[in-house]
Amino acid sequence: MPRMNEKVSYWMLVVPALAIMVIFYIVPVLGIWKIAFTEPETGLTNFVAMAGSNAVKTSFVITFRVAAITTIGCLFLGYIVAYAISNYSSRLTPLMVALVILPFWVSVLIRSFSWIVLLGRSGIVNDALKGAGLIESPLRLMHNELGVLIAMIHVMLPFAILPMLTNMRGISGAYVLAARSLGAGEWTAFRQVYFPQTMPGVMSGALLVFVLSLGFFVTPALLGGGRVLMISEYITYQIQEFLNWGLGSALSVGLLVATALVLLIAARFVNLRAALLERK
Amino acid sequence: MMPRSTFQIFFQTGAWVVIAFLVLPLLVVLPISFTDTSYIGLPKHGLSIQHYVNYFTDAAWLGATWTSIWIGLVVATCATVLGTAFAIGCWFLSDRASSIARWVLITPILVPPVVQSLGFYRFWVVLGLIDTNMGVILAHTLLALPYVSISVFAALTNLDRNIPRAARSLGASVLQTVWAVVVPAAKPGIATGFIFAFIVSFDEIVGVLFITVRRVSTLPKMIWEGIQDNIDPTIAAVATVLVVITLAATAIGVMRKK
């Protein structure tokens, strides 16, 4: 136990960052709550408008649907990669890890731009399909939910892979070996012995991807072409097009509350500390 | 080579397919950037470097690139200093209060970018920071702090608490102990934190869209506006430059590990 005056000197190290965060970040974000309840008038007007609007309802449904499908897609694809990396070690394993981390360093903006180039009306995919004589007129691959989902899964995939990888690397191979030697087939041993042990990693990955997807803006805005209005884009519409700060802020509060609820529910299944605070 | 079961084939081949899905889309900007057309598309009659020439001679693109680089470096420095001190203080304290402080510091990871940007906008108006470099630096430092704090703290988990204790009992002051014992141990985490902080700032777009108007332009903002208005292949040239730098850095990293 550090002595009292010693504790003070440790707090001196903590306080600058903490103070800046509280004053310039926490206070402004709380300010959004205040706007939601006070502009244009004090009361619940904005929330009443929000609850009564079908457009808002649709936007929330789209947001949760896109986030959910993205999460499932990332978990499925990511599991395969994480499994292969942690169970079949070869000369190529370090390369695989590097390639998983690589997209992290390329900005979301550029990755979304790449998907526009690929999926557009006269994009590479459509041109290739037409060149091969497989289609007559271009397919609609973006400016719809499909395009948003493809690009979102691409952007979020590393967030799903890394927690699963950390988890799988800590799993001893002895259990699967034991199951196999007792006569279980490869798939049975995987399903009944290996898979349950990977649940903590799967859950942390799911939480990260879902929470980040809920509030995502760049990719849905670029690939959705205004037709897949997730809440974040809906908020910017309200504020930039209609200067409706009241409704925009109320929607922000709604999004924050939704995120907080997801975290609260997740806390029952996931070790939030390990998933967020002590991320490797 | 052992005969492989469907199970192994599924996971081994599957993993490479997924990795191809992750990496190949990053490379499509390469052929596009050499197009001889004035719109986004594959080269028609031959390769052309006109879009690179445009990028490297256009004052707006170069100015934005330079702004992003220097702001990124300032942000990385500020966030690394503040975040390292923070993480070290919390590591020493390791009590309930410091644990809460660590949760407070990572909120920017959890709050949706648009929501925090609204907050920044309103507060920056009050502070007179709209459309200033200072405003961008402050916002980016806040967004980068969680990453520095997490990576420095992670580096410290392996440090034996008895070592700083020994330094203290031999008469070193708290500051001397931090500087001579803890900081060296945290170095890998500090370096990672610095790089993370730079990247966070260099790639940040939503905040910049809200808190800058005309005077301040960063590279992501130029790319964003380029995609919105007219899709100009210069974006592909810029993207290629950035992707190639990233690939080279990753390759060097892999080599050094080997």
What pLDDT digit, counting tens, does each position of A187-203 carry? 999 999 999 999 999 99
Q: What is the SS3 assignment for A114-137?
A: HHHHHHCCCCHHHHHHHHCCCCCC
Domain locations in chain A as residue ranges: 1-38, 54-277
**Residue A259 touches chain B, beta carbons under 8 Å:** yes
CB-closest option in A13, A108, A256 to B89:
A13
User: How does pLDDT run across B195-224, given as a tens digit for each residue?
Assistant: 999 999 999 999 999 999 999 999 999 999
Check pLDDT > 80 for residue B60. Answer: yes
Residues 133-192 of B with CB under 8 A from A: 138, 141-142, 145, 149-150, 153-154, 157, 174-175, 178
The reply to whether residue A28 touches residue B138, judged by beta carbons under 8 angstroms, is: no
Neighbour tally for A154: CB within 10 Å: 24
The first and second tokens of residue A32, run together, are: 């959004």
User: How does pLDDT run across B96-118, given as a tens digit for each residue?
Assistant: 999 999 999 999 999 999 999 99
pLDDT classification of B1: cutoffs 50, 70, 90: very low
pLDDT classification of B5: cutoffs 50, 70, 90: confident
Residue B222 sits at the vertex; the CA angle it makes with B221 and B226, to the nearest 5 degrees, is 115
8 Å CB contact between B238 and B219: yes
**Fold exhibited by the domain A54-277:** MetI-like fold (1.10.3720)
Instruction: Give how far B86 is from chain A: nearest CA, Å.
Output: 4
**Residue A49 touches chain B, beta carbons under 8 Å:** no
The reply to whether residue B92 touches residue A85, judged by beta carbons under 8 angstroms, is: no
Torsion of CA A29, A33, A34, A36, to 10 degrees: 130
Best residue of B7, B118, B147, B200 to probe chain A, by most A CBs closer than 10 Å? B118
The reply to whether residue B112 touches residue A256, judged by beta carbons under 8 angstroms, is: yes
Among B240, B238, B234, B239, which Cα is nearest to B39's?
A: B234
CB-closest option in B106, B115, B141 to A252:
B115
Query: Which residue range forms the structural domain that includes residue B179?
Result: 61-241
User: How does pLDDT run across B149-172, given as a tens digit for each residue?
Assistant: 999 999 998 899 999 999 999 988
**Residue B90 touches chain A, beta carbons under 8 Å:** yes
Check pLDDT > 60 for residue A274. Answer: yes
Check pLDDT > 50 for residue A183. Answer: yes
Its ipTM equals: 0.91
Whether residue B162 is contained in a domain is answered as yes
**Residue A188 touches chain B, beta carbons under 8 Å:** no
Q: What phi and psi values does residue B30 have, to the nearest 5 degrees?
A: -65, -60
Q: Locate tokens 């805005």: which residue?
A: A221
* Rounded CA separation B84/B81 (Å): 5
pLDDT classification of B232: cutoffs 50, 70, 90: confident
Instruction: Give how far B97 is from chain A: nearest CA, Å.
Output: 10
Instruction: Give how far B223 is from chain A: nearest CA, Å.
Output: 8
Coil, helix or strand at residue A267:
coil
* Rounded CA separation B44/A259 (Å): 47
Whether residue B237 is contained in a domain is answered as yes
Contacts of A277 in chain B (CB under 8 A): 102-103, 106, 150
DSSP secondary structure letters along B161-193: THHHHHHHHTT--HHHHIIIIIHHHHHHHHHHH
| pLDDT over 70, % of chain B | 98
Whether residue B96 is contained in a domain is answered as yes
By C-alpha distance, the chain B residue nearest A77 is B18
Which CATH number is B108's domain given? 1.10.3720.10
DSSP secondary structure letters along B71-122: HHHHHHHHHHHHHHHHHHHHHHH-SHHHHHHHHHHTHHHHS-HHHHHHHHHH
Q: What phi and psi values does residue A134 have, to the nearest 5 degrees?
A: -80, -30
* Rounded CA separation B140/B200 (Å): 7
CB-closest option in B103, B174, B247 to A9:
B174
B/e letters for A37-68, b = 16+ CB within 10 Å, e = fewer, are bebeeeeebbbeebeeeeebeebbebbbebbe
* Rounded CA separation A250/A46 (Å): 6
Whether residue B26 is contained in a domain is answered as no
Residue B4 confidence (pLDDT): 76
Instruction: Give how far B108 is from chain A: nearest CA, Å.
Output: 8
For the segment B114-133, the average pLDDT, to the nearest whole number, is 96
Tally of domains in chain B: 1
pLDDT classification of A1: cutoffs 50, 70, 90: very low
Of the given ranges (A237-241, B35-39, B52-56), which has the lowest mean pLDDT? B35-39
Check pLDDT > 90 for residue B257. Answer: no
Residue A3 confidence (pLDDT): 60
Whether residue B236 is contained in a domain is answered as yes
